[in-house]
């Protein structure tokens, strides 16, 4: 089956193989995994921390199925190249959300130019997208006995997307736990770091091998360009996503490619992970 075309029924059938929800609770994480740079770093972060990690992707009618193809490529290469992580990497789930995509049509899902709207948001903003993702992810995590929901949202550097704010996700976490009688934790390891520090975190987690996976296999470009390979990865080089990725790369390289190791202590006991980084390179400033 194509990465884009997993039908909803197949995704639901996946959920049939339930893990015992009591004995396994708290042992695992579900990573919201788009195949981009940020969610690839989040996947590595979760694999370093949890004994069992599953991934979920959302097909909401993206312009470019390359985004979904990148998910498969990144997962396979991580399993191949990181023997410590491979046994922890569990199932992948792709949920069909094209109905939502149709409601929330924007530049990513329809052929509209990327521009700023009257509210000061880029037309790439899909209203409510992350909120919907977390509702679906939480329902899946409930069935799979996973307690941590890991997402690559970030307040630093970019976007001003209101559903990437930690305040929004704190409210979402409360709503999910109240509404599903659960004790999920939404973890956002990238929330307070810059794009240069995201590269440093990748190196801290998986060395230059993980940096290479991100450069060669992850995909971020809004235009779906897989022809032009830059030092920081494939992309058109000019869309907002490429500019951000390239700028972060330049900042990281200018600091001599430092590595950041995460500290997980602060994020235990069910508290959301805040600024969890500890520098093991020359600089922790981006
Ligand atoms: Zn681009």
Average pLDDT, integer, range 225-253:
94
- The alpha carbon of 243 and the centre of ligand 1 are apart by a number of angstroms equal to 7
pLDDT band (50, 70, 90) for residue 282: very low
pLDDT of 161: 81
Instruction: Quote the pTM value.
Output: 0.81
- The alpha carbon of 54 and the centre of ligand 1 are apart by a number of angstroms equal to 28
pLDDT in tens, 143-158: 999 999 999 999 886 5
- The alpha carbon of 192 and the centre of ligand 1 are apart by a number of angstroms equal to 24
pLDDT of 59: 87
In a 3-state reduction of DSSP, which class is residue 9? helix
What single string gives the DSSP state of each residue in 143-190? HHT--EEE-----SSS---GGGSHHHHHHHHHHHHHHHT---EEE-TT
- The alpha carbon of 154 and the centre of ligand 1 are apart by a number of angstroms equal to 19
- The alpha carbon of 165 and the centre of ligand 1 are apart by a number of angstroms equal to 24
- The alpha carbon of 167 and the centre of ligand 1 are apart by a number of angstroms equal to 29
Distance separating alpha carbons of residues 58 and 188, to the nearest angstrom: 18
- The alpha carbon of 188 and the centre of ligand 1 are apart by a number of angstroms equal to 24
- The alpha carbon of 237 and the centre of ligand 1 are apart by a number of angstroms equal to 5
- The alpha carbon of 119 and the centre of ligand 1 are apart by a number of angstroms equal to 23
8-15+24-279 sits in which CATH class?
Answer: alpha beta
Structure-block tokens of residue 254 = 């200018």
C-alpha R_g of the chain: 18
Distance separating alpha carbons of residues 217 and 98, to the nearest angstrom: 25
């Amino acid at each position: 089956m194509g990465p884009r075309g997993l039908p909803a029924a197949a995704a639901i059938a996946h959920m049939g193989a339930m893990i015992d929800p009591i004995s396994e609770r708290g042992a695992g994480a579900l990573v919201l995994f788009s195949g981009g740079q940020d969610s690839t770093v989040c996947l590595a972060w979760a694999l370093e921390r949890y004994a069992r990690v599953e991934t979920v992707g959302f097909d909401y009618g993206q312009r470019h199925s390359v985004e979904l193809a990148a998910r498969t490529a990144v997962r396979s290469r991580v399993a191949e190249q990181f023997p410590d992580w491979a046994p922890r990497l569990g199932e992948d789930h792709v949920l069909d959300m094209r109905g939502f995509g149709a409601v929330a049509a924007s530049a990513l899902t329809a052929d509209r130019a990327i521009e700023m709207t009257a509210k000061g948001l880029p037309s790439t903003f899909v209203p409510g997208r992350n909120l919907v993702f977390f509702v679906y992810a939480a329902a899946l995590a409930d069935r799979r006995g996973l307690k941590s929901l890991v997402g690559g949202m970030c307040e630093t550097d970019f976007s001003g997307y209101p559903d990437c704010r930690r305040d929004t996700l704190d409210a979402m976490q409360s709503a999910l736990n109240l509404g599903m009688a659960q004790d999920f934790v939404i973890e956002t390891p990238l929330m307070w770091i810059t794009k240069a520090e995201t590269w440093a975190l990748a190196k801290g987690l998986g060395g230059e091998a993980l940096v290479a996976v991100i450069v060669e296999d992850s995909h971020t470009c809004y235009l779906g360009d897989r022809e032009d390979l830059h030092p920081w990865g494939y992309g058109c080089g000019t869309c907002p996503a490429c500019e951000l990725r390239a700028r972060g790369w330049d900042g990281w390289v200018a600091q001599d490619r430092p590595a950041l190791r995460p500290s997980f202590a602060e994020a235990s006991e069910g508290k959301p992970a805040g600024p969890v980084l500890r520098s093991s390179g020359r600089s922790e400033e981006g």
